[in-house]
Amino acid sequence: MLTQYDVQAALQIAIAAVVFSDLLTKRGEIFGRYGTWLENFETRHPMLAKPLGYCAKCLGGQVALWSYLIYAHPRSVEGVIAWASFVMLTIFLCAAFSAALAKLIR
């Protein structure tokens, strides 16, 4: 079961991933050159570019996957289920925040 800290961490990761991928890597922004590089890299290696920041859900999922492994150290079946739940919650929140941001920008 996810704790309040886990839900808060998932929210923070999702917000950071969406802001980075959907806002800061666009042309003219602070990481615009990185975003341009990601666009070019995505045409050749889409499976590698997405977790590097081309896709907010993929970036958030990767950060959630590895950060939970580092700070929680799941050692039981319940821990592995909580780990999977944490990653899925983060990906869901990234998708929801990206969709909300797209509606706001339109």
pLDDT tens for each residue of 74-104? 899 999 999 999 999 999 999 999 999 999 9
- Is the pLDDT assigned to residue 106 strictly greater than 90? no
- Is the pLDDT assigned to residue 1 strictly greater than 90? no
* Per-residue confidence (pLDDT) for residue 98, from 0 to 100: 97
Nearest Cα to Cα of residue 59 among 27, 25, 104, 82: 25
SS3 for 48-84 is HHHHHHHCHHHHHHHHHHHHHHHHHCCCCHHHHHHHH
